[in-house]
């Protein structure tokens, strides 16, 4: 099955907004085995929207159209659909009452009515029409109209569009889909490993790569359960320590499950990551059962006052050092009753850094049993990338320890290690 | 002058690579007053490339085509140009010797020869053919073929393509683009306000809305500077307190600028937001000059130990209450030397909550001067949405206070307020 994507919006044309929906849709559709023939990005102009709807519906099995479903003046997708396929616009009472009852939509009756004026024979995509978006069958071609708002677009695409498309796939047999998540490997590493495997091991398995920075998803699809199992076994044997989850769980979820199972607790002390580690941990529902507290000690004084870091250590070794990372993690363990403590100190950039420790240098401390280890990392990228890599790496150090114990602490970007017995 | 962009490459279709060239070209062309009629992204397939070259050259004054100029098998743009416009492919000796002499191109003679096989009558874009890329005049339509490699694409676009287009432009005027950001208003609120303005105030201003949850961008484009200024003046008069920035800055950046200017410091105590407020503040480079520290007090004990919250307050009023939010913010101010303290306690869901305070209820404390205020909010959405809304709202309370002083604390989702003098 082959489809095309149409993105509507002046802001996409002018580059005012990055088209993250296009990247997302490309990845998800490709990973699920659908071909995309072309991607069209057009302004909020009736004539050209109508033209492409009419042209592309003839060429493809399905179209995914994003944008122009809102209540504002520049939203004209419904009108374009009505013109392109000769469909009457009718007020959809269910959608209208859903709009009225949604707290977020506290706008005028006129705008609500405009938004609920849908082409006839459309089928809502979200249950109870909780967001805009509908399905339309035009001569057995499948048209999916999705809101341009990224989280709504992505949610509907994953939970409604893909399952509908999969059901209608010709010769559809229930394929097994496994989504594995990796950390500290990039897609080319995984790809290279797989390319060197014997062909028969991977035949009949469709393999898709899908990076969700800084994790990588490997999406496997097959009808052959045994083949899949032996392939995953091979992957685990060679890339096991990088494998976060076979169930598409993110690192914070994996950490959460491990700590909950083992009834263990953690606390953190963050400097350069500025709360991101805590925020990742607490993004998981139920994290209160294993996350005790976090210290965002951004200034040298706060490291001394809250964590008991020795001012002489800072003076002698610098605020960004193995020694400070160690004393931070040690301090957390002393001041709490947790089993594990993580700490970070470093230069996330773009300014700052020293000759010894340029921007991107991050020390991660990890206190466990009677030890504190500090790992030096040299990350690169923008501030946000460096903070994200450091935070995920800190969590992954804990994960590897919980799953494999000591001795599995080698990382791509690691550039040094130091240990202290406490 | 109106043009279209064509991006060629399987990796753009599958989402394996983000199309940063499209965003860049959109911005540069729009800023220089050129209209883009459509953007086409297509795979490395001869038939579809030929089709779009032939179709779009008729519709537009200029085309910018990116990708497919390299030496590998999937690079077929030159072949497509030759087929589309009936041009012979000829080995270009200047280009061939440039390829041989370039250090980056250390590939075989065959590959170099393939790359230098260009359609006749092409004009190189870079001096001495230092990168691929050429210009072609087809019946007075201007076609620019650029390499897909982002830094080469951007360089040639800025230094060669734009100057050539500008020379040919009749009555050239440069459009002004302004991107305003709002918080606590959604796009429909802004649209409704604008719809009720006199038509002459907004004529000749192109208006685009774009939500970047939980902020909203309003993108204004015009040739009329005076009109734009009086329109923005009107917006500020009526929606001023919701306006974060006229320079496309996000709330954490705006807060940062204000605190830096006024040489003021902040610290936070987070419960349900779990580090997200700290993480947002420290996502801004230079935040160490105004962010002192953060306490992620996820457990009741940590609120008592680190912030001095009275256990009796927790017992009497519950951990999620005005009183605890107030004592948290008060505690931060007592234990630090900051000017302002923010605190949060609430139920981010999806589980938890009480009858009085269901999931989505968040208390935000704000300590300033000799006062602490607590605001009760009723947010809805997923855990992540609720944490994000609460964190942005906390930062916005500080922003409104810094810009407008007291008395501007009304919010859409606010459901109560309490004050304590300290």
- Per-residue burial over A106-120, b = 16 or more CB atoms within 10 Å of its CB, e = otherwise: ebeeebbebbbbbbe
Chain A, 205 to 224: residues with Cβ < 8 Å from chain B are: 209-210
B306 — contact with chain A (CB < 8 Å)?
A: yes
The verdict on B146 and B222 lying in the same domain is: no
Contact A14 B299 (CB under 8 A): no
Chain B residue whose CA is closest to A27: B15
Contacts of A192 (CB under 8 A, 6+ apart): none
Of A37, A41, A278, the CB nearest to B296: A278
- In chain B, which residue's Cα lies nearest the Cα of A299? B292
Please report how the helices B77-85 and B46-59 are oriented relative to each other, as an axis angle in degrees rounded to 10.
50
What does pLDDT average to over chain A?
92
Q: Where are the alpha helices (DSSP H) in B109-198?
A: 109-115, 150-156, 162-168, 187-195
Name which of A116, A279, A338 to mutate to probe chain B: the one with the most chain B Cβ atoms within 10 A of its Cβ. A279
Is there a contact between A293 and B275 if contact means CB atoms under 8 Å apart? no
Is the CB of A36 inside 8 Å of chain B's CB atoms? yes
Cβ of A39 and B43 within 8 Å? no
Structure tokens, B316: 């009497």
pLDDT of residue A170: 62
For A135, other C-beta atoms within 10 Å of its C-beta total 18
Interface of A with B in 108-127 (CB under 8 A): 108, 111
Neighbours of A9 (CB within 10 A): 25
Rounded Cα–Cα distance for residues B94 and A109 (Å):
66
**Candidates B179, B273, B279; nearest CB to A274:** B279
Per-residue pLDDT tens, chain B, 422 aa: give them.
Answer: 899 999 999 888 988 778 889 999 998 898 777 899 999 999 999 999 999 999 999 999 999 999 999 877 788 999 999 999 999 999 988 888 888 776 544 556 777 888 899 999 899 998 777 788 999 999 999 999 999 888 889 999 999 999 999 888 765 567 788 889 999 998 788 988 998 899 888 888 888 777 778 998 888 888 899 999 999 999 999 999 999 999 989 999 999 999 999 999 999 999 999 999 999 999 999 999 999 999 999 999 999 999 999 999 999 999 999 999 999 999 999 999 999 999 999 999 999 999 999 999 999 999 999 999 999 999 998 899 999 999 999 999 999 999 999 989 999 999 999 999 98
Q: Are residues B191 and B282 in the same domain?
A: no
The answer to whether residues A121 and A206 belong to one domain is: no
Residues A240 and A279 grouped into a single domain: no
Q: What angle do CA B252, B258, B261 make, to 5 degrees?
A: 135
Neighbours of B422 (CB within 10 A): 12
A287 close to B (CB below 8 A): yes
CATH number at residue A212: 3.30.70
Please tell me which residue of chain A has the smallest CA distance to B278: A275
What is the residue-wise DSSP string for B4-70? Answer: EEEEE-HHHHTTSS--HHHHHHHHHHHHTT-EEEEEEEE-S-HHHHHHHHHHHHHH-SEEEEES--S
Residue B298 touches chain A, beta carbons under 8 Å: yes
A214-246: burial string, b at 16+ Cβ within 10 Å, e else: bbbbbbbbbeeeebbeebbebbeeebebbbbbe
Give me the number of domains chain B comprises. Answer: 3
Best residue of B8, B39, B289 to probe chain A, by most A CBs closer than 10 Å: B39
**Inter-chain CB proximity A70 and B282 less than 8 Å:** no
Q: Which residues contact residue B167 at a Cβ distance below 8 angstroms, ignoring those fewer than 6 apart? A: none
Domain final residue, candidates A138, A168, A198: A168
Give the residue numbers spanning the domain of A160: 2-168
Quote the tokens at residue B403: 């810009």
- Is the same domain home to A94 and A183? no
Q: Choose the final residue of a domain: A168, A193, A217.
A: A168
Cross-chain Cβ contact A11/B43 below 8 Å: no
Size of interface A-B (CB pairs under 8 A): 258
Q: 3-state secondary structure string, B355-411?
A: CCCCCCEEEEEEEECCEEEEEEEECCCCHHHHHHHHHHHHHHHHHHHHHHCCCCCCC
Structure tokens belonging to residue A368:
């466990």
A36, A291, A348: residue with CB nearest B13: A36
Q: What one-character DSSP code corresponds to residue B174?
A: P
Nearest CA in chain B to A359: B285
Instruction: Read off the CATH number of the domain in which A53 is found.
Output: 3.40.980.10
Q: Which residue of B has its CA nearest to A38?
A: B42
Residue ranges in chain A whose pLDDT is less than 50:
none
* Minimal C-alpha gap between B96 and chain A (Å): 31
Integer Cα distance of B57 and B345 in angstroms: 60
A361-368 sheet: strands from edge to edge: A414-421, A371-378, A361-368, A340-346, A266-270, A291-297, B291-297, B266-270, B340-346, B361-368, B371-378, B414-421
Closest partner CB to A38 (pick from B40, B291, B383): B40
In this predicted complex, what is the ipTM?
0.78
Regarding whether B215 and B267 lie in a shared domain, the answer is no
Please name the residue of chain B whose CA is at the shortest distance from the CA of residue A301: B292
Residue A246 DSSP one-character state: S
Task: Give residues 172 to 211 of A whose Cβ lies within 8 Å of B.
Answer: 209-210
Q: E strand or H helix at B266, and its extent?
A: strand B266-270
pLDDT at B171: 57
Q: Provide CB contacts within 8 A for B207, sequence distance 6+.
A: A74, B194, B218, B219, B220
B-contacting residues of A 222-261, CB under 8 Å? Answer: none
Residues in chain B closer than 8 A to A291 (CB atoms)? 274, 298
In A, residues 357-416, which contact B (CB 8 Å cutoff)? 383-384, 387
Closest by alpha carbon to B326, among B255, B266, B259, B269? Answer: B269
- Contact in structure between A308 and B301 (CB atoms under 8 Å): no
Whether residue B213 sits in one domain with residue B126: no
Report the C-alpha gap between B202 and B216 in whole angstroms: 19
Q: How far apart are CA B38 and CA A48, in angstroms?
A: 9
**From A40, A111, A268, residue closest to B38, measured CB to CB:** A40
CA-based nearest residue in chain A for residue B303: A293
CA distance A187 to B4: 33
Q: In terms of CA atoms, which chain A residue is nearest residue B291?
A: A298
Structure tokens at A60: 């493809």
The chain B residue lying nearest A188, using CA atoms, is B16
Residues A331 and A369 in one domain: yes
Cβ-contact A40, B175 below 8 angstroms: no
Q: Which of A18, A36, A107 sits opposite B188 (nearest CB)?
A: A107
> pTM of the prediction?
0.78
Tell me the sheet residues that pair with B347: none
Q: Is A37 in Cβ contact with B38 (below 8 Å)? A: no
CB A393 within 8 A of CB A411: yes
Question: Which domain CATH number covers A354?
Answer: 3.90.950.20
B187 and B63 in a common domain: no
Q: Cα(A25)–Cα(A158) distance, rounded to whole angstroms? A: 9
Interface touch A274/B292, C-beta < 8 Å: no
A158 touches chain B (CB under 8 A): no
Which residue among B131, B147, B168 closes a domain? Answer: B168
* A225 and A134 in a common domain: no
* Torsional class of B191: left (φ above 0), alpha (ψ -120 to 50), beta (otherwise): alpha
Instruction: List the structure tokens of B375.
Output: 């605001």
* 8 Å CB contact of A293 and B281: no
Instruction: Let me know whether A97 and A139 are in one domain.
Output: yes
Determine the Cα–Cα distance for residues B255 and B287; give it in Å rounded to an integer.
10
Instruction: Name the residue among B319, B339, B324, B353 with its Cα closest to residue B398.
Output: B339
Which residues in chain B are closer than 8 Å to A206, comparing Cβ atoms?
none
String of DSSP letters for B192-258? HHHHTS-HHHHTT-EEEEEEETTEEEEEEEES-HHHHHHHHHHHHHHHGGGEEESS---HHHHHHHH
Q: Is A184 helix (H, G, I), strand (E, B) or coil?
A: coil
Phi, psi of A294 (to 5 degrees): -135, 140
Same domain, A285 and A417: yes
């Amino acid at each position: 099955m082959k489809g095309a994507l149409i993105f509507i919006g002046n802001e996409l044309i002018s580059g005012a907004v990055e088209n993250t929906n296009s990247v997302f849709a490309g990845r998800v559709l490709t990973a699920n085995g659908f071909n995309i023939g072309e991607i069209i990005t057009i302004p909020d102009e009736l004539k050209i929207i109508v033209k492409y709807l009419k042209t592309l519906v003839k060429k493809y099995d399905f179209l995914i159209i994003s944008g122009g479903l809102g209540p504002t003046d520049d939203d004209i997708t419904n009108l374009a659909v009505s013109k392109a396929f000769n469909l009457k616009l009718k007020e959809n009472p269910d959608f209208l009452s859903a709009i009225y009852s949604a707290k977020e939509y506290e706008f005028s009756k006129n705008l609500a009515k405009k938004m609920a004026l849908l082409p006839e024979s459309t089928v809502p995509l979200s249950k109870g029409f909780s967001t805009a978006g509908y399905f339309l069958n035009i001569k057995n071609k499948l048209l999916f109209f999705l809101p341009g708002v990224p989280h709504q677009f992505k949610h509907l695409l994953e939970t409604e569009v893909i399952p509908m498309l999969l059901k209608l796939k010709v010769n559809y047999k229930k394929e097994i889909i496994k989504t594995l998540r990796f950390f500290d490997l990039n897609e080319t590493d995984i790809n290279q490993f797989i390319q060197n495997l014997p062909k028969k091991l991977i035949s009949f398995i469709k393999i898709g790569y899908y990076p969700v920075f800084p994790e990588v998803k490997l999406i496997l699809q097959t009808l052959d359960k045994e083949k899949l199992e032996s392939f995953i076994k091979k992957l685990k044997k060679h890339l096991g320590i990088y494998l976060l989850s076979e169930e598409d769980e993110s690192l914070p979820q994996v950490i959460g499950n491990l700590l909950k199972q083992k009834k263990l607790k953690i606390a953190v002390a963050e400097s350069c990551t500025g709360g991101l580690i805590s925020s990742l941990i607490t993004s998981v529902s139920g994290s209160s059962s294993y996350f005790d507290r976090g210290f965002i000690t951004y200034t040298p004084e706060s490291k001394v006052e809250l964590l008991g870091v020795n001012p002489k250590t800072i003076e002698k070794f610098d605020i960004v050092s193995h020694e400070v990372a160690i004393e931070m993690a040690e301090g957390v363990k002393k001041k709490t009753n947790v089993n594990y403590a993580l700490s970070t100190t470093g230069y996330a950039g773009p300014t700052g850094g020293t000759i010894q420790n340029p921007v991107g240098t991050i020390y991660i401390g990890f206190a466990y049993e009677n030890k504190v280890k500090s790992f030096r990392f040299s990350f690169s990228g923008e501030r946000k990338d460096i903070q994200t890599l450091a935070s995920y790496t800190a969590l992954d150090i804990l994960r590897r320890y919980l799953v494999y114990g000591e001795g599995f602490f080698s990382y791509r970007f690691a550039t040094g290690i130091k240990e202290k017995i406490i």
